[in-house]
Amino acid sequence: MNRGASFLARRRRALKRGFRAETLALLFLMLKGYRPLARRFGGKGGEIDLIMRRGRAIAFVEVKARDALEAALEAIGPGKRRVFSRAAAHWLTRNPWATSCDLRADAVLITPRRLPRHIVAVFELEIGA
């Protein structure tokens, strides 16, 4: 297999793993009483894996699948937070009704042989007032 083909094979595996992790996170959050508003929302150069609502709270959810919880949490660094916040602000411009809700950035961490871990308000959204 040449380099290009092996890169594409790795990329396909990563995308498949990510899609499975997002599906698991979606189901997990629905069991906790959240309802989905959007999945894989792309905007302003970033993507939000899940946008969920429960009551007056809207959670912009980053899903990370890694071999260890620490690695999953570390994958949500400052750059990711900025891009994620810009995408959330973009979603809000399309859904102005949501600005009156409680907005937060959550994470669902997926690791092998463990239940998903939901972290509420994992970081502060950088959304201009």
pLDDT of residue 113: 93
pTM for the model stands at 0.91
In order of their start, the domains of the chain are: 20-123 (3.40.1350.10)
| pLDDT on residue 35 | 98
CA distance 108 to 24: 9
Q: What is the mean pLDDT of each run of 10 residues along the chain (129 residues)?
A: 79 87 97 97 89 98 95 94 95 96 98 96 86
pLDDT at 17: 85
Residue labelled with tokens 């990510």: 18
Write down the pLDDT at residue 44.
74
Residue 22 · residue 63 · CB < 8 Å:
yes
> Which helix (DSSP H) or strand (DSSP E) does residue 107 occupy?
strand 102-110
